[in-house]
Chain A
């Protein structure tokens, strides 16, 4: 065969118009529409136009308007990205891990307990060890659902949701155990994480109130790791094959049961890491519901990022910005931060239904050639 023919075969098509539309245009439109609908919601609940404007200004200011804002954005983004990576891994393997919230709680709890159990170990060992413990706890908790799916076919959506609900109760219980509960307190709050286990703040030399911490590096490392795992490693190939077509993967000799358990464990591990990140870098101890919905927002982050590690990174930054800005919005304009939840849900709707966006904005999209009849 000619060399030209060989070169032709090797050519990667430049991103076609439809792929570009799906990857960039749709998410951008989704965000714009969601913000507009958010404004409409505010108007509908008796918020006057001036305040709506004030809210969005605050949103912007609180997310990127100052060094403090950026620090807040990064701090909020880190656990979202980590948990989002876990969810993205799961989606790629065909698994809907709605249980990131519970895995996050387990991971954070484990990190705290490990931390205060060994307060005198030097930081250079204790901190990574706590992080690892958190990841391991999340992984084990998630693999319960994975094993159930592999062995009995139980759909992981229901089992992870149930595990979530169980984890809340489990946390409540553990926070009142004598060896966990903070001395001298009767409310459910754990002992504090020792200094040696904490993720250090990075910019205290500029301003001691800046909360951004070393968890950022952990996050970036995780992004690189997941990228390598999904696209370069053998295991990642197996995840993706199982996710796209489990039958074909089985016929090709891949062990689908093992893959399901490993994928759930990996997803749970990242969620657990997110929990450990929160506890060791921000909170310093565990309280009921410290996960604050991160596990659910991570679903949006994973979807917005198209289950691609780099996409998840950017999506997580966006959602971190929304959160940081939302807090400012609540302070400046008095609008409840739950509005951010609505905006986030709307973003997912539009990202997960490109057809919907095309229907609302027919301009800007090439007429689809795949419509029949």
Chain B
């Protein structure tokens, strides 16, 4: 089945997400769709999968124009979307999730799960997927959950599979396994669209590449003839440097020392399991690892949001294991939370209010029982200018800023304090390249001025670019350590460690 998108335009109010898009998707081929965050790739695919209706343009399947009233129509036409954020009901089983919406039934509308199980088995065999139909989604690792998403679209006889950022949550080994499945599907005659912002992967798996920028297709190419630099330039519109500038490695005293730390998660299971680590001043320690191996829990324990069940955490000479979040901030700890939108700032508060979210009690901004708002406004203007936060006014709602500017707001707030130790979780997730470069620069500035940095990221390239030392976390433990001060460490070895394989 071949699909052609002609002149697709999609607007949201005054924002033009897609403009005049022309795209060909052919059977038996993997089309790579490249673009940075915010370029409009997801919007385009949502149009194709029936979630959105285009304002202009048409979709042609095998030459005939079609119109989708909703996702159901697209599914019936043979288009299957594997979403970036899984659309799986955690408390249902694999079989229930796969058949949802097209369930086999018996009399009195009774659900026929036996048939469903059998059909899941068939697909398992045909494409080598190995997923247990009765397992509950919430018990499955992320890589397996993704395979359930694939089974879902295959169950609905999809001829076109749209894969939206599928490798974001996979270890390098899982990515390889995933690519094998993709190739198997392609060879079976399916058309695949592989959406990503990761340059290496798109070069490896695609047969053809289209590049999107600011809602338009700005380039096309043959992966065999292109390289990372050329693609990056097409993606961003200007030359992009992949190196991050920083001073030579010159560590000073320990800023963070963790000993035998054990932390429990919400279900009272051990999430951080006897972890030891240190971060020196002037040093960046990066923690690599697929999300869900305890990194988030570790950060919560270090920053004080979650209680440690055992072990000690020290900042310099001070034991901070049991002191409050605020006390840790006062002692010089800064925290850039992983989940920007839900944990780092308050969308309905103004930029100014957010700027003092964790410093309003400080002598700088408060007088007795009340807040010294004029002083707050003055300093906010200063920080906004210093950190290049693009906002029409400091009284604008933070939720109206773009992702990049929201993160810059958070970084401004955290780095404009007296800091000794910076804990950053996924600091550039979902941001455009310009913001990414800027935040990396400010983080390195902090390092160069003597702060210790602990960065957790699921983007291995980011860890490699920023870190002096790299630790790998797997199932709650530090399973490997790599020295990056004298040259980039072996990515393959890191990947193996991320999957739990150690030397």
Q: Do chains A and B touch in the complex (CB under 8 A)?
A: yes
- Report B323 CB to chain A, min CB distance, Å: 11
A253 adjacent to chain B (CB < 8 Å): yes
Given contacts A232-B371, A234-B366, A373-B52, contact A9 B381 (CB under 8 A): yes
B357 adjacent to chain A (CB < 8 Å): yes
A4 adjacent to chain B (CB < 8 Å): no
Distance in angstroms between the alpha carbons of A12 and B370 in the assembled complex? 21
Nearest chain B residue, comparing its CB with the CB of A5? B385
A233 adjacent to chain B (CB < 8 Å): yes
Query: Which of A8, A233, A241, A248: most chain B CB closer than 10 A?
Result: A248
CB neighbours of A372 from chain B (8 A):
12, 52
Q: Which of B298-354 contact A (CB under 8 A)?
A: 303-305, 324-326, 329, 335, 337, 342-349, 353
Distance in angstroms between the alpha carbons of A369 and B12 in the assembled complex? 8
Distance in angstroms between the alpha carbons of A10 and B348 in the assembled complex? 18
Contact of B346 among A228, A241, A373 (CB under 8 A): A241
Distance in angstroms between the alpha carbons of A208 and B342 in the assembled complex? 59
Contact between B357 and A241 (Cβ–Cβ < 8 Å)? yes
Nearest chain B residue, comparing its CB with the CB of A1? B385
Contact between B348 and A9 (Cβ–Cβ < 8 Å)? no
Contact between B14 and A251 (Cβ–Cβ < 8 Å)? no
B369 adjacent to chain A (CB < 8 Å): yes
- Report A242 CB to chain B, min CB distance, Å: 10
Binds A, one of B106-114, B227-235, B250-258, B387-395: B387-395
Distance in angstroms between the alpha carbons of A235 and B52 in the assembled complex? 44
Contact between B371 and A248 (Cβ–Cβ < 8 Å)? no
Q: State how many residues of chain B have any CB contact under 8 Å with chain A.
A: 42
Distance in angstroms between the alpha carbons of A8 and B12 in the assembled complex? 27
Q: Which of A1-44 contact B (CB under 8 A)?
A: 1, 5-6, 8-13
- Report A236 CB to chain B, min CB distance, Å: 9
CB neighbours of B391 from chain A (8 A):
9
Contact between B326 and A251 (Cβ–Cβ < 8 Å)? no
Contact between B393 and A8 (Cβ–Cβ < 8 Å)? yes
Contact between A251 and B343 (Cβ–Cβ < 8 Å)? yes
Query: Which of A245, A250, A369: most chain B CB closer than 10 A?
Result: A245
Contact between B358 and A9 (Cβ–Cβ < 8 Å)? no
- Report A225 CB to chain B, min CB distance, Å: 12
Contact between B343 and A247 (Cβ–Cβ < 8 Å)? yes
A244 adjacent to chain B (CB < 8 Å): yes
CB neighbours of A13 from chain B (8 A):
392-393, 395-396
Q: State how many residues of chain A have any CB contact under 8 Å with chain B.
A: 32
A370 adjacent to chain B (CB < 8 Å): yes
B377 adjacent to chain A (CB < 8 Å): yes
Given contacts A9-B394, A248-B344, contact A234 B349 (CB under 8 A): no
Contact string, A230-264, partner B, CB cutoff 8 A, digits 1/0?
A: 00111101001100110111111111000000000
CB neighbours of B385 from chain A (8 A):
1, 5-6, 9
Contact between A369 and B13 (Cβ–Cβ < 8 Å)? yes
Distance in angstroms between the alpha carbons of A244 and B325 in the assembled complex? 20
Given contacts A232-B370, A247-B342, A372-B12, contact A11 B361 (CB under 8 A): no
Given contacts A10-B394, A369-B13, contact A251 B52 (CB under 8 A): no
Distance in angstroms between the alpha carbons of A237 and B346 in the assembled complex? 12
Contact between A245 and B342 (Cβ–Cβ < 8 Å)? yes
CB neighbours of A247 from chain B (8 A):
342-343
Q: Which of B149-184 contact A (CB under 8 A)?
A: none
Distance in angstroms between the alpha carbons of A245 and B304 in the assembled complex? 18
Contact between B370 and A255 (Cβ–Cβ < 8 Å)? no
Nearest chain B residue, comparing its CB with the CB of A242? B346
Distance in angstroms between the alpha carbons of A6 and B382 in the assembled complex? 8
CB neighbours of B13 from chain A (8 A):
369-370
Contact of A233 among B344, B358, B370, B377 (CB under 8 A): B370
Contact between A12 and B371 (Cβ–Cβ < 8 Å)? no
Q: Which of A168-212 contact B (CB under 8 A)?
A: none
CB neighbours of B345 from chain A (8 A):
248
Given contacts A234-B360, A241-B346, A241-B357, contact A251 B384 (CB under 8 A): no
B53 adjacent to chain A (CB < 8 Å): yes
Nearest chain B residue, comparing its CB with the CB of A6? B381
Distance in angstroms between the alpha carbons of A255 and B305 in the assembled complex? 10
- Report A233 CB to chain B, min CB distance, Å: 5
Nearest chain B residue, comparing its CB with the CB of A252? B358
CB neighbours of A5 from chain B (8 A):
385
Contact of B53 among A244, A252, A373 (CB under 8 A): A373
Q: Which of A322-373 contact B (CB under 8 A)?
A: 369-370, 372-373
Contact between B346 and A253 (Cβ–Cβ < 8 Å)? no
Distance in angstroms between the alpha carbons of A237 and B371 in the assembled complex? 9
Distance in angstroms between the alpha carbons of A255 and B358 in the assembled complex? 12
CB neighbours of A228 from chain B (8 A):
370
CB neighbours of B12 from chain A (8 A):
372
CB neighbours of B349 from chain A (8 A):
240-241, 244
Contact between B346 and A248 (Cβ–Cβ < 8 Å)? yes
Contact between A237 and B393 (Cβ–Cβ < 8 Å)? no
Distance in angstroms between the alpha carbons of A352 and B361 in the assembled complex? 34
Contact between A253 and B395 (Cβ–Cβ < 8 Å)? no
CB neighbours of A249 from chain B (8 A):
346, 357
Q: Which of B413-438 contact A (CB under 8 A)?
A: none
CB neighbours of B360 from chain A (8 A):
234, 237
Contact between A9 and B370 (Cβ–Cβ < 8 Å)? no
Contact between A251 and B366 (Cβ–Cβ < 8 Å)? no
- Report A14 CB to chain B, min CB distance, Å: 11
Given contacts A9-B384, A237-B360, A245-B346, contact A251 B370 (CB under 8 A): no
- Report B378 CB to chain A, min CB distance, Å: 9
- Report A224 CB to chain B, min CB distance, Å: 14
Query: Which of A1, A244, A251, A373: most chain B CB closer than 10 A?
Result: A251
Contact of B395 among A12, A237, A245 (CB under 8 A): A12
What are 26 A-to-B residue pairs whose CB atoms are below 8 Å?
Answer: A1-B385, A5-B385, A8-B393, A10-B377, A10-B394, A12-B393, A12-B395, A232-B370, A234-B369, A237-B353, A237-B371, A244-B347, A245-B346, A247-B342, A247-B343, A248-B343, A248-B345, A248-B357, A249-B346, A250-B305, A250-B325, A252-B357, A253-B304, A253-B325, A253-B326, A372-B12
Given contacts A13-B396, A373-B52, 11 further A-B contacts (CB under 8 A): A1-B385, A6-B385, A11-B393, A234-B369, A235-B369, A237-B353, A240-B349, A241-B357, A244-B348, A251-B303, A251-B343
Across the A-B interface, the 5 shortest Cβ-Cβ residue pairs: A253-B326, A252-B358, A253-B325, A369-B13, A252-B357
